[in-house]
Structures are given as C-alpha cells and as structure tokens.
Amino acid sequence: MSALDRKSGSREQVGKPSPIARAWAAYPLQPPLTDLTIGAYTTASLLAIVGAAGISEPDLAKGWWLALVVGLIASIPTGGSGLADFLIFARHQSGQAAAIRHLLLILPTYPLFLAAILLGHADYAHGTISAAPLALTLIGQTILSAAGFAGGRLVFGTGIRVKRTAPRGDGIPSPARTTDAHPHGPAS
C-alpha cells in the first residue's frame, strides 16, 4: 500500500456503496411513485370507459386526457427509481428473473399511453373519446395491471425492499419493530 493509499483510504473503500446508493437503499422512492402513476392511469381508464359510454363525455374526456398526462409524467421518476432499484438490488437477489419479467411487462405501457395522449389530444379539445385512444388506454391499463402484479410478486414473493425479522411460530416473519422510523423514536 502506498503512502497516498494510506492517506486517502482508497483501497478500503473499493467495496463500499456510495452515499447516494446507501441513501437510496434506506429510503425507497418507488412505492409512493408507483401509487401515483398507477392511480393516474387507472383514473384515466375509468374516466375513458364512463365517458365513452356517453355519461358526461365532454367533461370526462378532458379528465381522461389530463389523467393520462399526469400518469406519463409520473412514470418518468417511477421508472427511474425502479431501474435504480433493479441495478442496486435485483442483480444480487433471488428476484432477478421476477424483476426482468416486471420490466418487460412495464416497458410496452410507455408507448401505449404516449400514443393515447397524442392521438387523444384532439378528443380532449373536442370533448370526445374516440375508439383508438380508448383502446390504447385500456390495453395499456391491462398490461400495467399485469406489470403491477409482477412487481407485487417481486416485492412480497422475494422480499426485495421488505424488512423481515425472525419468523413467528407459524413460520411467517413478523413485521420489523424499529425505533428509527421517526428521528425522535416511536410516535406516541
């Protein structure tokens, strides 16, 4: 070890994750972001179905299109956080195949929802919902639901991002009891 290595400690830090990776691991962003994204796309799908059925179509067409836009915007940080989780965790976990399955299911939703937004803009302006954007929205929602199911299986089936403690008597892990969730200890 050279004098420079001893001063900087560079050889000792080779295997340690960066502070950004440690912070990312401690505070997962994807769960609340997926709630926002899935909620927006599900809202858009429901508004599209009800609007296409003729119930208050002009108002629902505007809500449908705006919900799609919110979903697409929210899907950018959601996808980024999912990719970061995959790069940090899945390659070292037993859930790598499940993570890849989830990724392969989620990727086609981006162009489907983007196409629904682009084709549906005229519908937004005229207060109608035509067949092509409606179909793209519903196909995207169906694939998104399958991807969400695969993501749930990834989290709950393999335990990625789930803090587990020793199993209870029935073999099911108990929820972790921590006092570090709040900076001043458990809430009273």
pLDDT, one tens digit per residue, over 134-147 is 999 999 999 999 99
Question: What does the alpha-carbon distance between residue 9 and residue 106 come to, in Å, rounded to a whole number?
Answer: 42
* Residue 31, pLDDT score: 82
Stretch 54-77: mean pLDDT, rounded? 94
Looking at the domain assignment, is residue 173 inside a domain? Answer: no
Question: What does the alpha-carbon distance between residue 130 and residue 78 come to, in Å, rounded to a whole number?
Answer: 29
Which domain, by its residues, includes 92?
29-160
CB 72 within 8 A of CB 158: no
Residue 2 pLDDT > 70, yes or no? no
Looking at the domain assignment, is residue 181 inside a domain? Answer: no
Question: What does the alpha-carbon distance between residue 108 and residue 106 come to, in Å, rounded to a whole number?
Answer: 6
Residue 66 pLDDT > 90, yes or no? yes
Report how many domains make up the chain: 1
**Residues 103-118 pLDDT 10s:** 999 999 999 999 999 9
Which one has a higher pLDDT value, 147 or 98?
Answer: 147
Looking at the domain assignment, is residue 2 inside a domain? Answer: no
Which one has a higher pLDDT value, 6 or 156?
Answer: 156
Nearest of 152, 151, 72 to residue 106 by alpha carbon? 151
Q: What single-letter amino acid sits at 114?
A: L
Looking at the domain assignment, is residue 120 inside a domain? Answer: yes
pLDDT band of 181, cuts 50, 70, 90:
very low
* Residue 165, pLDDT score: 58
pLDDT band of 28, cuts 50, 70, 90:
confident
Looking at the domain assignment, is residue 9 inside a domain? Answer: no
Could you give the C-alpha distances from 22 to 27, 84, 88, 95, in angstroms and in order? 9, 12, 10, 20
Looking at the domain assignment, is residue 176 inside a domain? Answer: no
Which one has a higher pLDDT value, 42 or 89?
Answer: 42
Which one has a higher pLDDT value, 186 or 161?
Answer: 161
Which one has a higher pLDDT value, 94 or 134?
Answer: 134
Looking at the domain assignment, is residue 170 inside a domain? Answer: no
Looking at the domain assignment, is residue 185 inside a domain? Answer: no
Question: What does the alpha-carbon distance between residue 60 and residue 46 come to, in Å, rounded to a whole number?
Answer: 9
Q: Is 16 exposed, middle or buried (0-12, 13-18, 19+ CB in 10 A)?
A: exposed
Q: What single-letter amino acid sits at 124?
A: Y
